[in-house]
Amino acid sequence: MNDASVPLLVHVIHHLGMGGMENGLVNLIHCLPHDRYRHAVVCIEDASEFRQRIRRPDVEVFPLHRSKVGVWEVQRRIHGLCTRLRPAVVHSRNQSGLDALLPARLAGVRTRIHGEHGWDVGDIDGTHWKPALLRRLHAPLVTRYVTVSKDLERYLISRVGIRPERITQIYNGVDTDRFAPASGPERDRLPAWLRSEDGVVVGLVGRLHPVKDYGGMLRALASLSERRPELGRSVRLAFFGSGPSLEELQRLASELGVESRVWFAGAVEDVPGALRSVDVFALTSLNEGISNTILEAMATGLPVLATAVGGNVELVVPGLTGLLVPPGDVDSLADALATYVADPELRRRHGAAGRARAVEEFSLSAMVARYLDLYDATLRGPDHRPRGATIRPDQDAPGRASSPSLP
């Protein structure tokens, strides 16, 4: 639909490529009512073939290549796009999206939403002062904030100094029809040498990057194999994803003597199929915003073994849908792995409970409804607060966050 009377949302992201945030954006574009909002995507850097996932023919994608042309040229181009397209809303995401706020305001865009979806690679625990200061300096340009986890919401309040009533927290949603349990693990998707009648396959889905600490899982497997060889022998690890840590992880698997039980599958298009081929899902990140892969694993009916960081603790209910361990704690990870390997019934119960939780609390339709309410409310004006917006009566004074401190 190209009807100019339908409000246009301009989404600003760093790079339109394979990733949880990007997949969520595509889902949002597809699922918001087409007669209520139009869309365009501005990429601070570039767009990969992932842009083909956007099936709406009226959605334009604009790569700006900041690393080549510089930030000032990017801002000039964003101002030109906003002047030409006349969006009703500019919705920026994460740190690089801040570049769009000033040019959007100067171009007359009255509604500017900024979303926080995860932690910057160079600031995985949110303690560095420069990213917090950058966000604070841009705060007057933001009409409303949205975060995908309560952890990120707390960061904006306590570290950046954003008033709670300016923030709406919306969890990511998962397509529970696309991600659904199979009658049993689909082992034919795995190489023959990885299949075993009594084996337990642990799946890890995501970019092979140091922040994911996948080496910790390899060390946990080696530790389990040494301490409890009868359990360690039955474990197989399947890494679905590519990234800069691949060669380092391959070397580590060899050094630890577990390479015969580890499969690096590379990037996969069929993530639902990959999840249906394993028995347990694991995520060993040092920090997370909200993990889409945890939600997808829960919807698939898998027990989740994850580190107790960021938004992970908001998704996984320990002892009910999964197990949580401290980040970087190889012994705890090995113990949790042993718990699942030794108890098939526990795996089944946790997987079933995770599926029920995903359907009831983290559905795609619930996420879309919250964003629709957010966009509608912000366009109606400042007196309209989206449903679910943060209101904290325990503040020292209504509408005031405690004074944040920066070095």
Q: At what angle do helices 344-361 and 330-342 cross, to 10 degrees?
A: 100
pLDDT band at 50 (very low <50, low <70, confident <90, very high): confident
- Is 216 in the same domain as 155? no
Evaluate whether residue 181 is within a structural domain: no
- Please check whether residue 294 is in contact with residue 316, taking contact to mean a CB–CB distance below 8 angstroms: yes
Residues 142-184 have pLDDT tens digits of 999 999 999 999 999 999 999 999 999 999 999 999 999 987 6
Mean pLDDT of the chain: 90
Q: What is the mean pLDDT of residues 85-97?
A: 96
- Is 19 in the same domain as 142? yes
pLDDT for 197 beyond 80: no
- Is 168 in the same domain as 207? no
Q: What is the largest CA-CA distance in the chain?
A: 67
Structural domain including 19 reads 8-173+363-380
- Is 217 in the same domain as 303? yes
How far apart (Å, rounded) are the C-alpha atoms in residues 89 and 111?
A: 5
- Is 85 in the same domain as 221? no
- Is 241 in the same domain as 96? no
Query: 202: which strand partners?
Result: 237, 280
Q: Which residue has the higher pLDDT, 404 or 318?
A: 318
CATH assignment at residue 236: 3.40.50.2000
Q: What is the mean pLDDT of residues 288-302?
A: 94
- Is 232 in the same domain as 350? yes
Evaluate whether residue 401 is within a structural domain: no
Q: pTM to 2 decimals?
A: 0.85
Tokens for 49? 């073939």
Quick one: pLDDT at residue 392? 38
- Is 298 in the same domain as 370? no
Give the number of domains in the chain. Answer: 2
CA 197-202-204 angle, 5° bins: 145
pLDDT for 382 beyond 70: no
